[in-house]
Chain A
């Protein structure tokens, strides 16, 4: 058998399975009819417009954006010093610390959400909003630490030592030498954290309250009641957003080097 041909057949089938569903979703979203169907009944952009008119989508999009941006920033604020310490200092019990910090990745999200609701939000009376924020921060923390550590490991320590010898303070050396050199790593960590948080469902499942829902949870609730193509349109828009961000990141910083 022609091995080139079989190569392309295998890849064609795999890609059809992996990406085909999106193409169908996009096509269905372009339908002019009122029901979700493929092939679409006529062409129109009305469902894409409808997405922006659904009030709950706007509110939950805002919530998800806020969580993804500020949750990731908070995770970086906590994670960058930790990553710096772990690559530059002999930290007592470094292995334990690493395990603790990376634990949010190991525990399934639904358990995190439930545990936070039951044993944090309710006893403390903290409210769902702050809990959601803290949960997303915790969830992103492992990624932030891992990606930033990796890029710090690639940075030679003697550059910092040189800066110290030349009279910089420790913090000055960090700010002037380390930070500019790990910019790519920071951005990569931010993007990874953003996408992770934005697409997160299980953690937010229990952490939703009156008037407060993340976008994916809202989508699930909406599609249960309305079987129209607007969820397809929203899915397509979100897919474009994620892919666009990742593509741009790959272009400008070579995201895959960091992840």
Chain B
């Protein structure tokens, strides 16, 4: 560690000034937009925003879909992560790579794939009709189901990664020991795996939850104007009505959510270090 504070400061300043000027300042002004009125400062814009039944619907839909995606990805993620950790070391790395592969691919391409698959003449409907499960093709696109499927695929890898790293830190004998002692699988999960991987679950859960809350392309393409979420509503308010007050309120909601999630993560990380 070098002691010269001036040099240190000089080295970090360009990056800090850059981020502050281009980032914090404009975003700060945007956030203040909802509090500024002709006569002074007020929080009335928030009341007005939530007074609209459409805005309420969009807000709760966003919360609902984000929680659902986080919940389902936790269930699937546990199964997949447990399977990966139990693979022989040689194939474990390869499998991990395959699971994380989608993260590297353009979200537009990923969402586009679902547009093809979930469409009325798409793969899923063809399959369902051929099997005789349904007579007429189902309407999946432009529903919450389509958005849910798209988001789940987008963010499931994050949950799996978090859970795999958590499980790798689990004592190797914990699960076999519990089994020998006569615990069934449900008990093993509840009493052994869950407590030992809680941290990974929280990390994965926050990543998936905030990711789903702030996703744009998936609700835009798979949901359309009938299944608006907060991000698509923001875009619509600005482009259609030049409504920066609503944009500011939505921005505040989204930033508060992401920020608290991030804070939570940091809290957890420091708790682990000090243990």
Contacts and interface: CB of A to CB of B under 8 A. Distances in A.
Interface in B149-201: 152-153, 156-157, 160
Given A111-B27, A114-B30, A216-B107, 17 more contacts: A3-B86, A11-B80, A11-B84, A18-B99, A19-B98, A19-B102, A22-B110, A25-B113, A25-B116, A38-B116, A81-B14, A97-B12, A104-B19, A106-B255, A108-B258, A195-B104, A239-B109
Interface stretch (B35-43, B50-58, B138-146, B231-239): B231-239
Interface in B92-126: 95, 97-99, 101-102, 104-110, 112-117, 121-123
A235 B106 contact: yes
Contacts of B113: 21-22, 24-25, 235
A100 B99 contact: no
B99 A14 contact: yes
A88 interface: yes
22 contacts: A10-B79, A14-B156, A21-B113, A24-B117, A25-B116, A85-B7, A85-B10, A89-B1, A90-B8, A91-B9, A103-B27, A106-B255, A109-B216, A115-B26, A116-B22, A119-B26, A145-B15, A201-B108, A201-B217, A231-B112, A232-B116, A243-B104
Interface string A1-30: 001001110110011011101101100100
B76 interface: yes
Nearest to A237: B109
A238 B109 contact: yes
Interface in B226-275: 231, 234-235, 238, 244, 247, 251, 254-255, 258-259, 262
A166 B152 CA distance: 56
- Listed from nearest, the 8 A-B pairs whose CB atoms lie closest are A89-B8, A235-B109, A85-B11, A21-B113, A115-B26, A82-B15, A108-B214, A81-B11
Contacts of B29: 115, 118-119
Interface stretch (A42-50, A134-142, A182-190): A134-142
B105 A239 contact: yes
B20 interface: yes
B15 A78 contact: yes
Nearest to A231: B112
Given A78-B15, A238-B109, A110 B5 contact: no
A97 B16 CA distance: 6
A88 B23 contact: no
B254 A111 contact: yes
Of A101, A135, A206, chain B has the most CB atoms within 10 Å of the CB of A101
B90 interface: no
B157 A24 contact: no
A117 B96 CA distance: 39
Interface of B: 1-5, 7-12, 14-16, 18-20, 22-27, 29-30, 76, 79-80, 82-84, 86-87, 95, 97-99, 101-102, 104-110, 112-117, 121-123, 152-153, 156-157, 160, 214, 216-217, 220-221, 231, 234-235, 238, 244, 247, 251, 254-255, 258-259, 262
Nearest to A259: B100
A7 B79 CA distance: 8
Contacts of B259: 106
Contacts of A205: 216, 235
A28 to B, nearest CB: 6
A103 B19 contact: yes
Contact of B23 (A82, A112, A232): A112
A67 interface: no
A43 B217 CA distance: 30
Given A101-B16, A235-B108, A89 B2 contact: yes
A246 interface: yes
A36 interface: yes
A118 B80 contact: no
A84 interface: yes
Contact of A239 (B26, B99, B106, B115): B106
A123 to B, nearest CB: 10
A199 B106 contact: yes
B65 to A, nearest CB: 15
Contacts of A97: 12, 15-16
B16 A108 contact: no
A92 interface: yes
A120 interface: yes
A150 interface: no
B240 to A, nearest CB: 13
Contact of A91 (B12, B87, B156, B244): B12
B11 A110 contact: no
Contacts of A118: 26, 29-30, 244
Contacts of B108: 199, 201, 216, 219-220, 235
